[in-house]
């Protein structure tokens, strides 16, 4: 089985609510009917509006959503892509390998329902100062535990991009998916898993930043809060 990730941009005429409804209803149904084994959809909407201060936008315009599609083979992906393309202004597809250091077992929603909290999607590009091997070793081999130890995430997925699947897909080397409690959208104490302890929050934030700067250039990174929907588990 292979995992394909599609970054999507809404049309200018679309409201967030209209775009979400189209992805969750029309596009989701078409992708599942076309044979997807699993389907997860992330979309920017009013439920994550409080997290606006957490957004980091290196891409202009920023993405409006992300679809993760699992199928027996990416070779037969055309029906999935046709369904997505017909409902968005632009899409960029990638074949990825997924690692899941934290599996969401705390806040599991039924298929078609919103996962509680905030779904943070981060698009990464490898800094030129690092080889691909060095970059992966720092991120996966070293930083992973730092992220787990210093944040309130209850779900954590790491997607290394194997190759682009669509024409002119923007350069991207990895995509991170993180699930946070809803309170983390506005409260750094919750975000850094340090409720009631300001000194702990500062330690966690410093440890996280010190680790991240080793393998991420912030001006090349997108961090977009979304709502997550598992449409077919």
Give the residue among 100, 105, 111, 118 at the shortest CA–CA distance from 42. Answer: 118
Please give the angle made by the CA atoms of 144, 36 and 65, to the nearest 5 degrees. Answer: 55
DSSP 8-72: EE--TT--HHHHHHHIIIIIHHHHHHTT-SEEEEEE--GGGGGGGGG-B--SSSPP-EEEEEEES
- What is the distance of C-alpha 153 from the center of its chain? 13
- To the question of pTM greater than 0.85 for the whole model, the response is yes
Query: How high is the pLDDT of residue 76?
Result: 97
pLDDT value of residue 18? 97
Which parts of the chain register pLDDT below 50? Answer: none
Task: Report which of 125, 226, 229, 132 is spatially closest to residue 175, judged by C-alpha positions.
Answer: 125
Specify the residue for token string 């989701």.
28
Per-residue pLDDT, 124: 98
SS3 95: strand
Q: Return d(Cα 148, Cα 142) in angstroms, integer.
A: 11
**Which residues make Cβ contacts (< 8 Å) with residue 145, sequence separation at least 6?**
none
pLDDT for residue 176: 98
d(CA 167, CA 224): 23
């Amino acid at each position: 089985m292979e995992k394909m990730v599609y970054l999507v941009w809404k049309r200018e005429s679309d409201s967030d609510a209209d775009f979400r409804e189209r992805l969750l209803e029309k596009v989701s149904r078409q992708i599942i009917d076309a044979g997807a084994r699993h389907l997860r959809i992330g979309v920017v909407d009013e439920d994550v509006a409080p997290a606006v201060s957490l957004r980091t936008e290196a891409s202009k315009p920023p993405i409006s959503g992300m679809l993760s599609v699992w199928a027996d083979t990416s070779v037969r992906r055309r029906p999935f892509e046709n369904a997505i393309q017909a409902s968005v202004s632009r899409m960029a597809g990638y074949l990825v390998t997924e690692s899941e250091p934290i599996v969401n077992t705390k806040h599991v929603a039924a298929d078609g329902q919103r996962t509680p909290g905030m779904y943070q999607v981060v698009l990464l590009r490898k800094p030129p100062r690092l080889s691909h091997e060095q970059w992966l070793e720092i991120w996966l081999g070293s930083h992973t535990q730092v992220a787990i130890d210093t944040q309130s995430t209850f779900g954590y997925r790491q997607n290394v991009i194997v190759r682009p699947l669509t024409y002119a897909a923007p350069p991207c080397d990895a995509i991170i998916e993180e699930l946070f409690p809803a309170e983390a959208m506005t409260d750094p104490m919750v975000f850094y898993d340090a409720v009631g302890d300001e000194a702990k929050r500062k330690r966690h934030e410093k440890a996280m930043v010190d680790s991240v700067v080793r393998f991420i250039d912030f001006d090349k990174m997108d961090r977009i809060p979304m709502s997550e929907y598992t449409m077919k588990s």
